Each structure stands twice: as C-alpha cells, then as structure tokens.
Amino acid sequence: MPTQYDSLASDYPDIQNLPGAAIEEINVHAAIGSVEGVRCLDLACGDGHFSRLLLEWGANEVVGADISQAMLEQAAKLSRLEISRGQLRLIKSDVSKSIDVDGEFDIILASWLLNYAPDQETMNDMFRNIQSKLKAGGKFVGLTTPPQSGTRVDVEAHLSKNMKYGCWGHVTKEIEAGFQVHNVLGTGGTPIVEIDNFYLRPEVYERAATKNNLHDCEWKKVFATDGLKATYGEAFWDDCVEDPHFAVFSASK
C-alpha cells in the first residue's frame, strides 16, 4: 500500500469543496442506507470526512482506520469533538495486511481504498480482512475508481471528461488487472492534490468479494439529486451519470 498521502494531508480537506465530492457523498449515503444506532468501520478514513458523516447520519460509534499517520493526525485535528465524545476512534492499519481493531461492525465503508490494489491477490487480501470484521448480515460499501473493461484509449477518453467535476488524469501503465493512473484533483485546471492509483476490471472486485464469502455484490447506478441539479444546473451532471468518475460497490455478509 502506498503512503503518498503523508505528503497530501494538509491539502486533502480542500477536495471536499469540489463538485465531484458532492455527488460521491450522496451516492455513498444512498448505498449505505440507514446507520441509525449501529457500529461502523471507516477504512482509508483519510482526514475523517466520512467518519464524521457516518456519525452525522446516525451511527452510534465509528472507528476510522488509515495507513497514513499524517492523514490520521489531520483526522484527529478535524474530529476533536467526535473524539472527545467517545464517538470516534482512529487507528493506523494497512488493510491489505490486517485490520487492527477488536470486534465486528454492522457497516464497513472503504472510500478510496480498493483502487490501491495493484492486482487480484492484493484485492483478495483486502476483502479477506474486510469480511473478518463484518458482522453476519452486515453491509460493505466501497467508493472507488470506476471499473474498466475497455482499452487504454477508452480510459484516457473517460479521464478527459471529468475536469468540470474536479478530477482529471492520464494512464501511466497497463497492468494485468487494469490500468495504473495518475489522477489530479483540483479546480479550474489547478491541482490541489495528485495521486497515483488503479482503474481495475470489475471482475477483480467481484472475485475477491465472492472468494471471501460476501454476496449480493452490486455496482450501484450513479445518480444526481434534484438538489445537486438545482445547485449546478440540470445538465451539469449528465456526463457524470452516464460515465461516472467514481463507482460505488456494495456487498453483504
């Protein structure tokens, strides 16, 4: 797992102001459903954005885990209230190796985690550790890069459409499981952060989930709410809904 986020921690909260972040948040919430009174695990929690949202949405307790010490420090800074109330705990953990927390969880969210698996084996390892912490009947939701079954040209064309949502990039390498991509997040063509990750074939995710006894695997259809359309314009989200810059994958145990 990369630790490139250590150098991005101070700027990372700014990406939540990008249009793309707004539609991601709404789609993740819809996929998770009600979290009222439940225990949630937020993997790759970063600066704690989704950890705080899970509490806002009604979760009783959240544990946020990340591989980057700098991001955990940023999360602690931004989540002082939630931590002081005993609602949020932060831990350092490499999900491809283990998840160092006791107990099981009703909901496990992994936002921008699975897209750092460079191959099927690493994805299998991630899902093995995820399912080990998910309660029977619990739900997993992953926010990740869109699954790719096309060619390098197709992926490059997809990446070129997304600048108005705050993200763009280019393919740096073809790999067995898909493509390695250099992503830029920013506004008006000005970068906020730059990140290297992977755009993988859908079956890489699906095989790993089913291999580790998760079922009801589903790629959620991306949508824009009336509120988003009112804020940005009716047609603004058309490209995103048709060919999203992100994907939401869900499964159950």
Tens digit of pLDDT for each residue in 203-219?
999 999 999 999 999 99
Q: Would you say residue 166 lies in a domain?
A: no
Contacts of 229 (CB under 8 A, 6+ apart): 236, 237
What value does the mean pLDDT of the chain take? 96
User: Which has the closest alpha carbon to 166: 143, 195, 142?
Assistant: 195
- Mean pLDDT over 7-32 rounds to 94
Q: Would you say residue 194 lies in a domain?
A: no
Contacts of 156 (CB under 8 A, 6+ apart): 170, 171
Q: Any idea what the CATH number is for the domain that residue 64 is in?
A: 3.40.50.150
Phi, psi of 38 (to 5 degrees): -100, 170
Sign, CA dihedral 216-221-224-225, equals: negative
Flag whether pLDDT at 3 surpasses 90.
no
Q: Give the confidence band of 7 by pLDDT, cuts at 50, 70, 90.
A: confident
Look at the chain and report how many structural domains it folds into.
1
Please give the Cα distance from 51 to 108 (Å, whole number).
11
Contacts of 41 (CB under 8 A, 6+ apart): 62, 63, 65, 99, 101, 105, 107, 108, 109, 133
User: Which has the closest alpha carbon to 250: 222, 207, 220?
Assistant: 220
Contacts of 77 (CB under 8 A, 6+ apart): none
Domain span including residue 18: 4-147+201-252
Flag whether pLDDT at 22 surpasses 50.
yes
Flag whether pLDDT at 2 surpasses 70.
no
Q: Give the confidence band of 1 by pLDDT, cuts at 50, 70, 90.
A: very low
Q: Would you say residue 90 lies in a domain?
A: yes
- pLDDT tens for 28-75 read 999 999 999 999 999 999 999 999 999 999 999 999 999 999 999 999
Please give the Cα distance from 149 to 168 (Å, whole number).
19
Q: Would you say residue 163 lies in a domain?
A: no
Please give the Cα distance from 130 to 226 (Å, whole number).
34
Q: Would you say residue 193 lies in a domain?
A: no
Q: Would you say residue 196 lies in a domain?
A: no
Which amino acid type is present at position 188?
A: G
Q: Would you say residue 57 lies in a domain?
A: yes
pTM: 0.96
